[in-house]
Structure 1
Amino acid sequence: MIAQILLDVVLPIFVLIGLGALMQRAFRLDLYTLAKINFYYITPAVVFLSMYHSEMSPALLGNVTLFYALYVLLLYVVSTIVSRRMKFNRGMKAAFTNSLILDNSGNYGLPINQLAFRGDPLAASLQALIMTFQSLVTFTYGVMSVQRAKTGGTLKAALIGFLKMPVPYALVLGLVFHVFRVPLPEFASKPLGYISDSMVSVALLTLGAQIVKYPLRLDRLDVYISVILRLLIGPAIGLLLIFLLGLKGVPAQALLIASGMPTGVNSTILAEEYDNEPDFASQTVLISTLLNIVTITALISLAKYVG
């Protein structure tokens, strides 16, 4: 089973990431443009269609929301305890916490979900919802924590940044169209479908190009602590919450896999934007993504026995 998951799900993901890395080395791709294509063009289409075709009940929506809120809260508590024990300064504490709670649920998590669940609409809508919640956390707490550490930024500025993102609007619009059974005309559904179909290849190419820009270093203890917490303690918390909330079947499996994503590239973008521990942030993204080959394979195997 593990070998099959590795060959059918994980290896295709890392082949595409590797191709993105090779293309970045060869051609120095425009990462800013690639990120904008993913964020403003592909991801909103994927989120809209995922919610439009969703099979999620209101009760399940509430449970997923509660799951994610508790998941982030518990990771924050873990981060606070470790930061105090390690005597991190204010800037390092912000970077360390972001490395735990800002995961790669978008351009990595969505492709993993698609391959692991073979495009199951319910699983896809769950991952799209998690990604939207992740965007909310990134552009509120994530931005604000780094701003406060460096410049004393405000919640208002962070919220304005969040409201400029297209993903939340795509999610709400998809849900509205789903609830009221609004038919999509052919001239809208076809383009959305074509855009959505490009997600796996373009998102992973972008991820490969993004992570290869950082040189690999193996000499930072704080990076290893972050990676262990992100890849092992994160899924353990996810599994505990799944049992406590009584989640079963595909929702339980999808949420368990979603809880094991590597550190998100957004943590590095924030660190670079505010010059707040950029080396630490880049190393956690790179090393957690590489080690995720092992941990995500194990999680997908375990998920089959959950619920």
Structure 2
Amino acid sequence: MKSMLARRTVRATILVCSLAVAPGVFAQDNAGPPDNDDTLTIGAAAAIVPTYEGSDDYRIIPGPAIRGKISGHNFYTRQSAFYFDLIPEKPGNNLDLSLGVAAGTRFSRTRGIKDPQVKLLGKLDTPIELGGFVGIAKTGVITSDYDTIGVRVSYLRDVANAHDSYVIQPAFEYGTPLSQSLYVGFDVSADYVGSSYARYYYSVSPAGTAASGLATYDLDKGWKNISTTVLANYALSGDLRTGWSVFATGSYSKMLGEFKRSPIVRDAGSANQWFGALGVAYTF
């Protein structure tokens, strides 16, 4: 019973994390009841996000999401990507290994640009990213039989010839239910990006300088940012394993190194990135 409560509580609240559009919002793969019943959670959020990675302008966008399990295989949306775990979860096992596939996109500088100089650089194409992830998570570690701690690394590569590069994201994740109706958690992650990604989103060509007035700038692959996220989820039904829940989540991300020195960030935006979301979810 403890194992079931822990895992189903985590499953319900992980959706909350995936609804948020901020980087680093965690989505663990050990979520789900030990009997491997098929499950489904759907939800929606209103999120406030920068207009592009490195912007100091913000906008409000919707954040629909879905998460579930079929035949022991967990699947979920996270930001604008979909993840499917190829390793079925073993009933009653508190140590969970994950290895899966992922597909998604990103919308930085593809629409909604407010800064006049960055807007003059022109809109960018939307990438289609394919890849995978690997991770390990343990339930019942620090505070109780119900808390979960995990590490995960994901890899996504553009196959649509937009940024034509890759993003590697390691993450550390922790969450715990404080009661059957309240869950809290946090996540720390970082993004390492390839050279083409770095130049596509953060360089300024001589032609771009002539058009926008931003200084010419070029950069290479490296650590783009580090992020931390906190969240709280409250079950209106009194039980996080089923029914309606409401949540709030917030994230702070810091641009790093050559990325924060890009004129697109330093002069037209900010190295300090804030994210927030409020939403509702329903677990069947």
TM-score by length of 2: 0.27
Larger strand proportion of the pair: 2
Larger helix proportion of the pair: 1
> Which of structures 1 and 2 has the bigger CA Rg?
2
